[in-house]
Amino acid sequence: MKKKHNTERRAQKLFSVLLFVAWISFMAFAGFFAPSFFAQLPFFKVKQIELSGNDKIAFEDIKELVEELSTSLTSLNEENLLSELNARFDGRVKKVYMTRDIGIGGTSLKLRVVERKPVARLRFGQGYLLLDEEGVAFAPFEGEGKGLVEVETYDIDLLREHFSRLYEGVISLNIPLKLIRVRRDSVVLILNSKKVILPPLELLPPNVSERLKMIYNFPEEKVDLRYGRFILVRN
């Protein structure tokens, strides 16, 4: 009798173990395959894309990436699409907004792609990169960026960290700048007929734009604004 009882207990234990293994296997299987399985259902398939905000990036390129990501239900989201766009277009995209409208006939996708707007050209090797107002560098399309002021720097990280000072205090004034040289001890502005020397980038004062406006019509060819209230000029 005791032997029969032990056999039943072993059988129950074995059944419990097998049931547990089967449950774990099912959950693993479902977790691995469910996103791609559901993505193939008709109402989850992307049937329409409504796009806005893009400038240089073509609709076809964005559509192609959406189709690649939509093979898995969890892959098609704002973060992944932003990452894929920036991988393909070298950091050009600032933000992606996405909303879905899921219906019986499929999913309609509304996308807003915000591209970075170039405000300057950064000399880089034999070519150049574009800079937006935050100092983020990205690759240009062919011919893009002509007419923008050029920037030279010895330290790209420093330039990005303090670029907002340079943009707000200098570039946004729309004075006829040819070149901005960011040096360790100064920022040098090359205008059509004048050279202006400013303090180092990280020390540019908040009123630098006012001082530039004040000396813009000076006849002198060289103006040094590194010394507080003093202005040094030289023909």
Structural domain boundaries in the chain: 42-115, 120-234
Where helices occur in 95-200 by DSSP H, the ranges are: 156-169
Lowest-confidence range among 38-47, 54-63, 164-173, 182-191?
38-47
The pLDDT-based confidence of 18 (bands split at 50, 70, 90) is low
Tens of pLDDT, residue by residue over 192-204, are 888 999 999 999 9
Fold of 42-115: Ubiquitin-like (UB roll) (3.10.20)
Q: Using an 8 Å Cβ cutoff, are 42 and 106 in contact?
A: yes
pTM: 0.73
* pLDDT at residue 17 tops 60: no
- Strand runs labelled E in 86-184: 93-103, 106-115, 120-124, 127-131, 137-138, 150-153, 177-182
The pLDDT-based confidence of 74 (bands split at 50, 70, 90) is confident
* Phi/psi-derived region of residue 75, left when phi > 0, alpha when psi is between -120 and 50, beta in every other case: alpha
Q: Which CATH number fits domain 120-234: 1.10.287, 3.40.50, 3.40.1350, 2.60.120?
A: 3.40.50
What is the model's pLDDT at position 126? Answer: 81
Tens of pLDDT, residue by residue over 182-234, are 999 999 999 888 899 999 999 998 888 888 888 777 777 888 888 765 455 55
What is the model's pLDDT at position 39? Answer: 46
The pLDDT-based confidence of 6 (bands split at 50, 70, 90) is low
Mean pLDDT of the chain: 81
